[in-house]
Amino acid sequence: MNPTLTNAWKELAQHAREWSGRHLRDVFNADPNRAQRYVAEACGIQLDYSKHRINDRSLQLLQGLAEETGVRSRRDAMFAGEKINNTEKRAVLHIALRNRGSSPILVDGQDVMPGVRKVLEHMSAFAERVRGGAWTGRGGQPITDIVNIGIGGSDLGPLMVCEALKPYGHERLRMHFVSNVDGAQIHQTLRKLDPNTTLFIIASKTFTTIETLTNAHTARDWFLASGATEADIARHFVAVSTNTPAVTKFGIAAENMFEFWDWVGGRYSLWSAIGLPIMLYIGPQHFTALLDGAYAMDQHFRSAPFERNLPVLMGLIGVWYANFLGSPSLVIAPYNQNLHRLPAYLQQLDMESNGKGVRADGAKVDYATGPIIWGEPGINGQHAYFQLLHQGTHLIPLDFILALKQQDLDPKHHAILIASCFAQAAALMRGKTGDEVRAELDKAGTTGERTELLIKHKTFEGNRPSSMLLLETLDPLHLGALIALYEHKIFVQGAVWGINSYDQWGVELGKQLASGIENALTGDGGALDYDASTQRLIALAKERVNLKR
């Protein structure tokens, strides 16, 4: 449905006018309980949303919008295995991958849970052997290095989680992730490795992705060139895919393939066999805790009332900024170093899901949809992009993410980390008035015209909103819950906007276009189907560099 036709949308548009000219500083001053009231908590994650341009009326209207646009029934349809990915006619069941309940989840009348459990057992048995040293390379030595070759959804999730959970990693195993088809990445990685103790995971849902297959063939050639035989491949190459024939054709035996299903979207797949590198690195027990955390968040999303439901609150606050306050962007600022790949991971998760201009029913939207997601670890961001957030001309809300506790915690470092995070959120909200700057300048002895000039530059408008997401600790359980929180936040927004968050035709286009140009670059023919600019670029590349298939 078109959300702009709902009553709530019209009232929200009206209500948004009340917010123009209102400063969060005054909103806090007027309500001494605001800091306590605008906090929600679930699964060891606290969401403080008090520093947003919202009040009780805004929240009530936004929840009304969720009701009118059918967020509740769509959520239930997803959990029931209905084919809510209508363009690809697929169910959307990453929630089944971490389902700890005993009820079946049906797709086309078939319970998917036995298959899910079987693959998890296959992964665990394999992981135990590799970790324990029983699975050896061709020379009989234990595996020391694991290279995941995959891209997009088959790379970012496992990479982000392995980085986030480094303190839980196996001490003998070094993890490597190769995604880019730029040969520099695979060659630089291979240079460091011993073929006799390296295990490659070829991760591709389709097993047709050119980047992954090119890197996989290069890895196999490198392995064979070291003196290994075709028969040795079985001990050094495993695959994660939905495409058994293509995996077998590559030379990987069926028993070394870990299966998943078309109802797992690439960017939602780290809970499936795509998470194999995670399980190898942190072990089956910690991997199970990751699933448990996500399952707990699934239960919260399914059952908590909207006014205390974390994904619903975050989703609706995002809709408020995108559609009523004119903000096109959201910054992800984790304050823990091990979460340094979280912004990139969430960038894909959100932008590939909700970067859509057509509703599920085929109608073109005439309202903003998915936000532009970007960011870097917050503490580094303070020394870089935060300037624009403080004094630039765009309204860009932030998600501050901070784990209160973590492994490798140095209290002295952690105090500075936490202080910086809280201080930034406070400064963005509060700003700094001209009078405060003047007082500082007076104290420093600055006078006259210079004072007047500096006041203009050193005044911070403030009124810049943010969420504060506090994790009790950064461990597998809380990380699982955090990722699932974002998955469901994206779901809520997609449901309000009436779009299909689970297809990715933009990604498919890229895959199609590259193969046509590659033919033109490596063959004799031109590329007559392309525009003049692209043809000129193709001719230039052909003239300057020797390319081959």
Residue ranges that bind ligand G6Q, judged by CB under 6 A: 151-154, 204-206, 209, 212, 265-267, 352, 504, 507
Asked whether the beta carbons of 342 and 381 are under 8 A apart, the reply is: no
Cα of first residue to Cα of last residue in the chain, in angstroms, is 47
Which residue is catalytic, options 163, 211, 352, 376?
352
Q: For ligand G6Q, give the closer residue by CB, 206 or 534.
A: 206
Directed axis angle between helix 210-225 and helix 183-191, to 10°?
Answer: 30
Please calculate the CA angle 437-443-449 and round it to the nearest 5 degrees: 60
Helices and strands (DSSP H and E) totals, the chain: 24, 13
| Residue 400, phi then psi, degrees to nearest 5 | -80, 130
Q: For ligand G6Q, give the closer residue by CB, 419 or 509.
A: 509
Tell me the closest approach of the beta carbon of residue 180 to ligand G6Q, in angstroms: 13
Instruction: Name the residue number minimizing CB distance to ligand G6Q.
Output: 152
Question: What's the one-letter identity of residue 355?
Answer: G
Helix (H) or strand (E) holding 121: helix 113-132
Q: For ligand G6Q, give the closer residue by CB, 39 or 507.
A: 507
Q: For ligand G6Q, give the closer residue by CB, 266 or 480.
A: 266
Q: For ligand G6Q, give the closer residue by CB, 149 or 389.
A: 149
Q: For ligand G6Q, give the closer residue by CB, 361 or 508.
A: 508
Tell me the closest approach of the beta carbon of residue 494 to ligand G6Q, in angstroms: 14
Tell me the closest approach of the beta carbon of residue 196 to ligand G6Q, in angstroms: 28
User: Known catalytic residue: 163?
Assistant: no
Rounded Cα–Cα distance for residues 431 and 195 (Å)? 56
Which residue is catalytic, options 89, 364, 383, 457?
383
Q: For ligand G6Q, give the closer residue by CB, 158 or 397.
A: 158
Tell me the closest approach of the beta carbon of residue 25 to ligand G6Q, in angstroms: 41
Tell me the closest approach of the beta carbon of residue 510 to ligand G6Q, in angstroms: 8
Residue among 274, 311, 278 nearest 483 (CA):
311
Q: CA 273, 276, 282, 285 torsion: positive or negative?
A: positive
Rounded Cα–Cα distance for residues 220 and 202 (Å)? 11
Q: What DSSP state is assigned to residue 85?
A: B
Q: For ligand G6Q, give the closer residue by CB, 215 or 288.
A: 215
User: Known catalytic residue: 518?
Assistant: no
Helix (H) or strand (E) holding 239: strand 237-241
Q: For ligand G6Q, give the closer residue by CB, 69 or 179.
A: 179
Q: For ligand G6Q, give the closer residue by CB, 120 or 151.
A: 151
In this structure, are strands 237-241 and 329-334 parallel, antiparallel, or unpaired? Answer: unpaired
Rounded Cα–Cα distance for residues 274 and 243 (Å)? 13
3-state secondary structure of 147: strand
Provide the 10 A C-beta neighbour count for residue 334.
Answer: 29
Asked whether the beta carbons of 138 and 196 are under 8 A apart, the reply is: yes
Question: What's the one-letter identity of residue 240?
Answer: V
Tell me the closest approach of the beta carbon of residue 440 to ligand G6Q, in angstroms: 49
Burial class (CB in 10 A: 0-12, 13-18, 19+), 229: exposed
* b/e map 354-363, b = 16+ CB within 10 Å: bbbeebbeee
Q: What's CA 286's distance to the chain center, in Å?
A: 20
User: Known catalytic residue: 187?
Assistant: no
3-state secondary structure of 531: coil
Tell me the closest approach of the beta carbon of residue 177 to ligand G6Q, in angstroms: 13
Q: What DSSP state is assigned to residue 136?
A: B
Q: CA 154, 157, 161, 164 torsion: positive or negative?
A: positive
Which residue is catalytic, options 10, 118, 405, 511?
511
For 131, the token pair is 């970790």
Tell me the closest approach of the beta carbon of residue 151 to ligand G6Q, in angstroms: 5
Tell me the closest approach of the beta carbon of residue 153 to ligand G6Q, in angstroms: 3
Residue among 146, 164, 160 nearest 237 (CA):
146
For 20, the token pair is 């123009």
Rounded Cα–Cα distance for residues 486 and 479 (Å)? 11
Tell me the closest approach of the beta carbon of residue 391 to ligand G6Q, in angstroms: 35
All residues at 6 or more sequence positions from 524 whose CB lies less than 8 Å from its CB, including other chains = none
Catalytic residue IDs: 352, 383, 511
